[in-house]
Amino acid sequence: MNRNRIKRICASFIILILLLSLMTGCISHAEAYHDKSFFAMDTIITIRVFGDRSAKKAMNKAIDRIKEIEKHMSSTYKDSDVFKINKAAGVEPVKVNDDTFYVIKKALEYGQLSDGALDITVRPIVELWGITSDNPRVPSKEEIDEKLALVDYRKVVLDEENKTVFLEEKGMGIDLGAIAKGYAADEAVRILREAGVKNALLNLGGNVITIGGNPDGRPWRIGIQDPRSHETGEPHFAIVGIADATVVSSGDYERYIEEVYEKTGERYHHIFDPKTGYPADKGLIASTIISSSSIDADALSTILFIMGYEEGFKLIEKLDNVEAIAVTANKEVYITEGLKGSLIQSNDNYRIMD
Amino acid sequence: MIMDKFMKPKIGDLFIYLFIVVLIGLSLLGLRTMSIDRSNTVVQIELDGKVIDSYEISQEGEIEAQEIRVDTGQGEYNIVRISSEGVSVIDANCPDKLCVGSPTIKVPGQSIVCIPHKFVVRIIGKSQGDNAVDDTAS
């Protein structure tokens, strides 16, 4: 065989290999990712994982896990633990799944820490107002007082050994809405990490959870919802850069009785103060928690919103690795020490205070 | 000498050259698709996690306003309005009407959701500028 011909074939193959590597280089530069949006836990959930097929497999496993948690903790599914606990209130203890037991236990710990600002037994009040139902209304003071008598997290009895939950009085009810999404997020993150996923971005109905940073090497840039987006026309008022952390916000802007608001300007929103039976009114319109655990962030953002800036910050500054943002009705933004210098203001309708 | 050999290619060589040309073409095509993904903004409508419609919009200049009625097939609907001001849901027959009350969305990454109808309208594209974000906590 002609030696030159062999050389030529070799040269051609080298070019071919170069071209192939150019193509794959191009693809990996675009950062291959898999994502999925689905409806669960009364909200929309989006998961985006970066990586190959094993990352996609892990994503699907995480989705199944979230749906499993929903099945136990939804208050509308007839065979969920929460439904059974509420039905057996004042009658008998109910044996529950380990997940449910853990979440309720954690919620009660937060009830104690916040001196009842976070109270999962606030359900009778939530139902009375019906903010999330078709017919929300402002109840009378008498009606509220009557239901308030049923609100007390200390009347939830846990039996660690038999994994049972008992509500001491008939008419009591629990709702894990303020904390279950946080737990589901932590579980999803655990599954993804165990499968070796290095970068991921999850959003559970507005709760943002991240693994690693952005694959481009920078932290994830997460906007904090502008609570008065309707007035300002801006999507967010601040941006925070995070990696391996979660950002959870609460506020009066998500759900409120619109008819009353239009008539009187009074915003009866969906976050109730378990002590008064009225929507929380300690001067805040939005609160945000940044931390590593999503169940903690979920609980603490509600607690901060209900307690208000002064009391809430006193509590949060005692905790490790938890940062917070509080927005007052006159658009002043208070932030914890750890965020000073790193929070980026993204619209000038708000004033970040020192 | 090499030039001389190139003048008289053998049939096997021709196949290889053809293959290389096709490869170059393919990789150029790949580059082109990727650059499109980066520069264009798309309004995407989803029902129950599936994309049912998408509208490419330009980020500069005026957009002709259009209203899109989205039916779920079970008598439920949401009406989306796309215009220069942004994207909003202007009517729906869901019980809570949260989607109709949602602020107008304008930049990639934003979305309006109607949970009862499992409906989402979102803006997709590369978010640009100082205020670009990967996601928003709400």
Could you report the predicted ipTM of this complex, rounded to two decimals? 0.86
Beta-carbon separation of A12 and B16 below 8 A: yes
pLDDT at site B3: 54
Question: Beta-strand (E) ranges in chain B?
Answer: 41-47, 50-57, 66-71, 77-83, 86-92, 111-114, 119-124, 135-137
CA of B134 to nearest chain A CA: how many angstroms apart? 5
- Segment (H or E) for A289: strand A284-291
What confidence category does residue B36 fall into, taking pLDDT thresholds of 50, 70 and 90? very low
Going from the C-alpha of A272 to that of each of A151, A263, A301, B81, the distances in angstroms are: 11, 21, 13, 34
What confidence category does residue B110 fall into, taking pLDDT thresholds of 50, 70 and 90? confident
Which of residues A220 and A132 earns the better pLDDT score? A220
CA A120 to CA A154: how far, in whole Å? 10
Q: Beta strand pairing status for A164-167 and A199-204? A: unpaired
pTM: 0.84
Amino acid identity, position A266: E
What confidence category does residue A44 fall into, taking pLDDT thresholds of 50, 70 and 90? very high
Beta-carbon separation of B23 and A9 below 8 A: no
Convert the pLDDT of each residue in A329-353 to its tens digit: 999 999 999 999 899 999 999 999 9
Task: Count CA atoms closer than 13 A to A157's CA, side-chain side.
Answer: 13
Q: Tell me the three state secondary structure of residue B61.
A: coil
Task: Report long-range pairs for B96-101 (Cβ below 8 Å, ≥24 apart).
Answer: B96/A132, B96/A134, B96/A255, B97/A258, B98/A254, B98/A255, B101/A258
Segment A172-199 mean pLDDT: 96
Place of tokens 């929070």: A343
Beta-carbon separation of B135 and A208 below 8 A: yes
The answer to whether the beta carbons of residues A15 and A8 sit under 8 Å apart is no
Average pLDDT, chain A: 92
Segment A174-188 mean pLDDT: 95
Q: Among B37, B120, B136, whose Cβ lies nearest the Cβ of A236?
A: B136
Q: Which of A130, A169, A125, A146 is nearest to A274 (CA)?
A: A125
Torsion A327-A329-A332-A334 (CA) sign:
negative
Q: Among A16, A225, A258, whose Cβ lies nearest the Cβ of B136?
A: A225
Interface residues from chain B to A (CB-CB < 8 Å) = 1-2, 5, 10, 12-13, 16-17, 19-20, 23-24, 26-27, 30-31, 34, 37, 46, 48-49, 95-98, 101, 103-107, 110, 113, 115, 118, 120, 130-138
